[in-house]
Amino acid sequence: MNRFVSTSHPTYAERIGRRFDSLPLRVKLIILIGSLFIVLTMVSTLIILQQGNRIINERLAETCTISLQHVSQTIKNDLLLYYGAGDDPNTASLHLGHIREAIMSVSNQRIAGLVYAGVIDRSGVIIAHTRPEMLNRRISPADSALFSTLSQTLVRPRGGTLEYIHPLYTRRDDQGERMVFLGDTVLGFSGVVIRQPLRQTRTLIITTTILMAVIAILFLSYIARRMTLQIDSLSRGVQKLADGDLHTEISIVAHDELGRLAREFNAMIVHLREKLQMQKFVSKLTVQMIRRQSGVETDQPPLGETRQVTVLFSDIRSFSAMTEKLGAAEVVKLLNIYLDLQARLIEKNNGIVDKFIGDQVMALFVDERQVEHAVQAAIDIQRSVRDLNEQRHRRGELGLQVGCGLHIGYVILGHMGSQTRSDYTVIGDVVNLAARLCSVAKPGQIIAPVELLPRLQGKFRTHRLLPVYVKGRRQPVEVLQVDYDAAVARPLRN
């Protein structure tokens, strides 16, 4: 059986990495820069503490050694005379008293941290001590052997005390350069008091480091907020843009690359709004053509092509005469109400509004069921206009009526116009005839050539009208009328 290690579950490091990646940029900056600052501060603090420990220990040792040597120098002659008194107890007692007075004077000087002071003779007996109970005691043989062999000051910890032991020697001239051991001077310093300056220094350094870290984090938070504020506003702007809000504007809070990016974003929003507004004045066919030529769509349209389309013209009847008493703003408002209604119904039936020609609408239907959709769009227009007029008449407002003309056939579809102003539209006899039929249609009427009848497949009720003469044709045109009140029981499904 083949064994393998499953990698389906992320490791702990990967989970931490994913959580870090999901954090806001501001938090990442604070964590990264703050961690770097704290690490550098801790390293420098440790170095300073080590150097401080070394310097303070050296100074303490130097101070204690000087004090010890001073005491040793003071009692050295008396100790030498104490040994030289021999069997004279008075002399020995006199010098021993001097030694003890010198030790007590050391205690009376109230040296910081001094706990005790004493003198040990060369036989290991404590002959002077600041504590009376310690007098005439004998130290341990091991200490006695150690103290008698010292050549320099010895520092050793003893409980909570640091003990400084300084050997005393004298030169015997009668025996050459030989050094004679006299004894040891002992000073005991409290470790707590001795190390207090070091602790105070350490506490000061640590407190200062923590304070600096807090100040640095606060400063980093401010800097990170300033740095990411523009990014946050850009992110919100992009989100609003993705939601279709073209009225958003980003505040410029920086003057660096992010600030320039915010200004470019605002300029882009303005261009998009302008483009959206301009698209209202351009047909969908033209927009599709522009997208193809811009590379948005892969198929490049030819300069001109022949296609079968169904053309619908819808024209408002007697509009000029009905609006003579209205102002310009009221005329435009009224016209837009009816044009917007027709445009929405045309697009609902898969049609394309090619252009608005004054109070006239030109629409194209190019799908497989183009005739059905075109006729249904005309029916919806007439019904909706009638309903709208009834509502407006009840409010005492002016109503308009439209006439519609339809035709199907082959047209030339292409990019037409000048280099500075062009349109993507259709031309041909089919377009002209549909426009002429629209012009002769009465208010509320839908007419089309009889050639359209076989394509309706009985889905719409029609009846023939008398032939009509239209401009551009010598022979009358056989036409039919769509009875939209009884045309269909329900709207067509696209």
- Give the closest residue to 301 by CA, choosing from 430, 409, 426, 421: 426
User: Taking 50 as the threshold, does the pLDDT of residue 376 lie above it?
Assistant: yes
Q: Report, as an integer, the average pLDDT of 64-72.
A: 73
Q: 322-373: per-residue pLDDT in tens?
A: 777 778 888 888 889 999 999 999 999 999 898 888 889 999 998 888 999 9
Q: 162-218: per-residue pLDDT in tens?
A: 888 888 888 766 555 677 888 888 888 887 877 777 777 778 877 887 888 788 778
- Give the closest residue to 167 by CA, choosing from 182, 178, 188: 182
Which carries the bigger pLDDT value, residue 453 or residue 33? 453
Share of the chain above pLDDT 70, in %: 83
Mean pLDDT of the chain: 79
Predicted local distance difference test score (pLDDT) of residue 414: 77
Predicted local distance difference test score (pLDDT) of residue 313: 94
Predicted local distance difference test score (pLDDT) of residue 388: 93
b/e 117-148 (16+ beta carbons within 10 angstroms → b): bbbbbbebebbbbbeeeeeeeebeeeebeebe
Predicted local distance difference test score (pLDDT) of residue 491: 47
Dihedral over Cα of 7, 11, 17, 21: its sign: positive
Which of the residue ranges 84-98, 216-230, 348-362, 405-419 has the most confident prediction, judged by mean pLDDT? 348-362
Q: Report, as an integer, the average pLDDT of 390-397.
A: 91
User: Taking 60 as the threshold, does the pLDDT of residue 25 lie above it?
Assistant: yes
Amino acid of residue 179: M
User: Taking 90 as the threshold, does the pLDDT of residue 236 lie above it?
Assistant: no
Residue 53, C-beta contacts closer than 8 angstroms, at least 6 positions apart: 198
Residues in the chain, overall count: 494
- State the Cα–Cα distance between residues 439 and 428, nearest whole angstrom: 17
User: Taking 70 as the threshold, does the pLDDT of residue 443 lie above it?
Assistant: yes
Q: 124-136: per-residue pLDDT in tens?
A: 888 888 888 888 8
Which carries the bigger pLDDT value, residue 296 or residue 469? 469
257-to-229, 231, 251, 260, 459 alpha-carbon distances in Å: 13, 11, 14, 5, 64
User: Taking 70 as the threshold, does the pLDDT of residue 12 lie above it?
Assistant: no
pLDDT band at residue 402 under the 50/70/90 scheme: very high
- Say whether 419 sits in a helix, a strand or coil: coil
pLDDT band at residue 296 under the 50/70/90 scheme: very low
Q: Report, as an integer, the average pLDDT of 73-83.
A: 78
b/e 410-432 (16+ beta carbons within 10 angstroms → b): ebebbbeeeeeeeebbbebebbb
Q: CA-based diameter of the chain, in Å?
A: 169
Predicted local distance difference test score (pLDDT) of residue 381: 94
| Range with the poorest average pLDDT among 129-143, 323-337, 445-459, 475-489 | 475-489
Q: 259-281: per-residue pLDDT in tens?
A: 788 888 888 888 777 776 665 55
User: Taking 50 as the threshold, does the pLDDT of residue 102 lie above it?
Assistant: yes
Burial of 36 (0-12, 13-18, 19+ CB in 10 A): exposed
> pTM surpassing 0.85?
no
Which carries the bigger pLDDT value, residue 154 or residue 33? 154
Domains and CATH numbers, the chain: 25-194 (3.30.450.20), 198-277 (no CATH), 303-482 (3.30.70.1230)
Q: Which residue has the tokens 């207090």?
A: 196
What's the angle, vertex CA 327, arms to CA 321 and CA 329, rounded to 5?
115
Nearest-Å Rg of the Cα atoms of the chain is 55
- Give the closest residue to 230 by CA, choosing from 200, 268, 260, 192: 260
233-to-129, 219, 253 alpha-carbon distances in Å: 80, 21, 9
Contact 375, 393 (CB under 8 A): no
